[in-house]
Amino acid sequence: MAHNHDGKDKEVHYVGDSRVPQNKKKLYPKDYSEYPGNTEPFFPNFLLKEWMVAVVVLVGFLALVMAEEPPLGEQADPTNTGFLPVPDWYFLFLYQLLKFKWASGPFVVVGTVIVPGIAFTALLLAPWLDRSKERRPFKRPVATSLMLISLVAIAILTWEAEDEHEKQLASLPKGSSEEDVKIVDQNDPAYEIYKNQACVNCHGEQLEGITGPPLKGIGDAYSAEQIQHIMDTGKGQMPAGMFQGTPEEKRKLAEWLTKQKTGKPKSTEH
Amino acid sequence: MLKSMYEWLDKRIDITPMWRDVADHEVPEHVNPAHHFSAFIYCFGGLTFFIVVIQILSGMFLTMYYVPDIENAWKSVHYLQNEIAFGQIVRGMHHWGASVSIVMLFLHTLRVFFTGSYKHPREFNWVIGMLLFFVMLGLGFTGYLLPWDNKAYFATKVGIEIAASVPIIGDAAASFLQGGEVVGAQTLARFFALHVFFLPGILLALLGAHFFLIRKQGISGPL
């Protein structure tokens, strides 16, 4: 406790140099009395109300955390050539921009530098580009409409990227090439149908895949109807109408193929 | 007891003015959701900060188990998610919190934009806010690699390829991010360093400046 020169115990406030007692009143910023209405102190009154909003958000957030397990795919394997890369969702619109013809290949600089550069520079410099005193959005049509157009563009690009990614995922081969997955029920008469058709030439005698993708474990991904549909219409490199047996044989073969299961829990990757 | 402890401290180091500086200012009616429900749009900034605090806390707990090397990174994440009590919850908070903080940040930016709050005299705080946005995106990008699963690996590979395609600075930027010949051990180590030390440090410094300026200039008036 500080002592004054007269020897009495009394609180003293110092500024910077502890030999100089503070004698000036603190300068507090002016309050909001210029705005008519109910102002209230930040602490604790207003902060309590903000905390109540935060609690509502927190409950929703924790419900999401409880409901959805955070995804963790297979350990990274740099030699995996079939993996479809996808950025986190908030980068999708920038990623999709690079798929336009005028923003890829020789013009990739348009997609990587020019368009995002202009957009983000404009955003960064917004206070100097929009210098009027007016603050209401409807009174500044240029700024407001530019932002709305950008928002729509971001939404469309994000949706397109997601949609394209889903379609690419769906077109990936679903069979398993892993060693420990074996052909199921090779004595089934359907296997003879398989061998006598063109199937075996590309998909292999043990369904291991030669020029075509493997069919081991294909029953995890497709139903018999879906497999018949692929036989009829083709998929990827596979042309339509490759199966030339009777409809009865086709049905038997499709049903046998649905029995090809890996017996493993379904991968949650992608 | 608490009160006398506080007074003991206050007499010596005079702490009252420190927190009074932060606490004692009037909050106007037009940003108070208790008075106007529509004022909840003014809460997005505070909520972004709230989620950032959640990110920092959950991230601190994650580093108790996470190992930033390519042999063990995925295994440590797998272990903490499946074997550790509440590991899945903590990782879930950090994983989903990343998305939620981007959403909140986005909504906050839109609120400031559409209410014209970036105008004189708050130009500088808008610029700091945009820098905060970039730092948050950087945190998202660097954090995405750390679980070291296929998705993380190939997304980062593509991201670095895109960075490399930028003229003039592209190669330098790519080798700065990648740290070696391929996306590998060095990339993971430096993404970890960026994600855990560099970017959060910059984030906190910018946040301090952001809050200081808000306190100094006050919230923009009603429309």
pLDDT in tens, A97-149: 999 999 888 899 999 999 999 999 999 999 999 999 999 999 999 999 999 99
Q: Domain check: are B98 and B168 in the same one?
A: no
pLDDT at residue number B216: 85
* Shortest CA distance from B28: residue in chain A: A39
Higher pLDDT, B97 or A34: B97
Q: Which amino acid is at A148?
A: L
Work out the average pLDDT over B188-205. 97
pLDDT beyond 60 at A206: yes
The answer to whether the Cβ–Cβ distance between B127 and A127 falls below 8 Å is yes
- What CATH number does residue B71 fall under? 1.20.810.10
CA distance B199 to B134: 10
Q: What angle do CA A100, A105, A111 make, to 5 degrees?
A: 50
Work out the average pLDDT over A190-195. 85
Boundary residue ending a domain (B63, B94, B115):
B115
Q: Domain check: are B108 and B157 in the same one?
A: no
B171 occurs within a structural domain: yes
B121 occurs within a structural domain: no
pLDDT at residue number A8: 56
Counts of helices then strands in chain A (DSSP H, E): 10, 1
Higher pLDDT, A196 or A20: A196
B166 occurs within a structural domain: yes
pLDDT beyond 80 at A52: yes
Give the E-state strand segments of chain A in sequence order. 40-41
The superfamily CATH assigns to domain A189-258 is Cytochrome c-like domain (1.10.760.10)
Closest listed residue to residue B139, CA positions, set B207, B203, B43, B69: B203
B137 occurs within a structural domain: no
Looking at every residue in chain A, the average pLDDT score rounds to: 84
Q: Domain check: are B152 and B77 in the same one?
A: no
Q: A176 falls in which pLDDT band (50, 70, 90)?
A: confident
Boundary residue ending a domain (B115, B134, B152):
B115
| Tens of pLDDT, residues B71-87 | 999 999 999 999 999 99
pLDDT beyond 80 at A193: yes
Q: Domain check: are B41 and B110 in the same one?
A: yes
pLDDT beyond 80 at A175: no
Work out the average pLDDT over A159-184. 84
- The closest CB to that of B32, out of A46, A75, A137, belongs to A46
Q: Which of A33, A34, A72 to mutate to test binding with chain B, by most B CBs within 10 Å of its CB?
A: A72
Range of the domain at B163: 144-216
Q: B115 falls in which pLDDT band (50, 70, 90)?
A: very high
B91 occurs within a structural domain: yes
pLDDT at residue number A230: 86
Q: A25 falls in which pLDDT band (50, 70, 90)?
A: low
Q: Which residues of A touch B153 (CB under 8 A)?
A: 76-78
Q: Which amino acid is at A159?
A: W
CA distance B63 to B59: 6
Return the domain boundaries, chain A: 89-171, 189-258
pLDDT at residue number B29: 85
Q: Domain check: are B106 and B172 in the same one?
A: no
Query: Measuring CA to CA, how many Å separate A216 from each of A134, A149, A234, B113, B131?
Result: 67, 48, 18, 55, 51
Measure A220 CA to nearest chain B CA, in Å.
21
